[in-house]
Amino acid sequence: MDTEWTGTLDKMRIQAAAAPDEPVQYTLVDGWYDAPARAPEVPLNNLLGQRLQLRFTGQINCVACGRAIPRTYGQGFCFPCSQSLAEADICMVRPERCHYFDSDNPCRQEEFAREQCFQPHFLYCALTSGIKIGITRQRHIPTRWLDQGAVAAIPLALLPSRREVGLLERRLAAAGFADKTHWAHMLQADPIDHSGVVAAAEQVLQQLRAWDVSGILTAEQRGLYRFRYPVRIWPSRIVSLDLHRQPAIEGVLNGIKGQYLLLDSGVINLRKYCGYRVVFRV
């Protein structure tokens, strides 16, 4: 090992390939709160087949303010930031719980609500570990799907705000449409047959029409997106690696999917460790 990188973990940057038969591109990025002080980015696709080591230094810092902390809340926040920042509020993961119009519990940051939440959002159908529905903003297409390890996705409807599409997603989930990804199943292989997502999308559309939902996309707008991930060997069994139990994780990089590194020693979700200071060696 002769290449060493020290930085604060953040979710990997993912870029879709120009063609669906080419693998998406992954980059390791530094999530240090002070952008000018971040370490250079590290392309990961060309490291497939090489042995790497990820060593946790024991240092954890809030991704928003840089405060040294013993543990993180949400996606790498300290407790005060998790309680004050709009981006750390519960409605970021449960949009149907938006409380913007609640006078007793208004939005934490008005500007954030206008720029992030009260913007058009898509409802989509994707194939990850199985068929699921979800929501995302247009600027997060297709990275939202790639973060989830989707091999195929179809946008179905466009609603005026995150709250409205979140409420629709909850209604669909209550009607029996899955909205979760089983991470271990997602890592076992890429489904080859994409016809299931097309059929499932049609079922969702039938339900939307029955509810007289506005914003359904035209047939031309409901295109099928397909993705392939950089994986040379799929895990025969899923072993989850944990930086707290094993501060120095080492193994041959067999693949990357979603936000997971697939090593011959196990798999690790880098997004789980946002804010953790590590030494990455190849």
Query: Which residues is 26 bridged to in the sheet?
Result: 14
Helix or strand holding residue 271 (H, E)? none
Q: Is 37 exposed, middle or buried (0-12, 13-18, 19+ CB in 10 A)?
A: exposed
Q: Is the pLDDT of residue 110 over 90?
A: no
Q: Which amino acid is at 26?
A: Y
**Closest Cα to residue 276, out of 72, 76, 82, 60?**
60
Q: Answer for the pair 97, 91: CB distance below 8 angstroms, yes or no.
A: yes
Confidence of residue 189 (pLDDT cuts 50, 70, 90): confident
Higher pLDDT pick, 41 / 190: 41
List Cα–Cα distances, 103 to 28, 81, 108, 248, in angstroms.
Answer: 42, 22, 12, 48
Which residues does residue 163 pair with via DSSP β-bridges, in sequence order?
Answer: none
- At residue 18 the predicted structure's pLDDT band, cuts being 50, 70 and 90, is confident
**Cβ atoms < 10 Å from Cβ of 209:** 10
pLDDT at 1: 63
- Digit-coded pLDDT (tens) for 221-257: 999 999 999 999 999 999 999 999 999 999 999 999 9
- Rounded Cα–Cα distance for residues 14 and 114 (Å): 26
CA distances from 177 to 92, 126, 132, 162, 271 (A): 21, 12, 7, 19, 26
Structure tokens at 220: 């031309």
Per the CB < 8 A criterion, the answer to whether 10 and 30 are in contact is yes
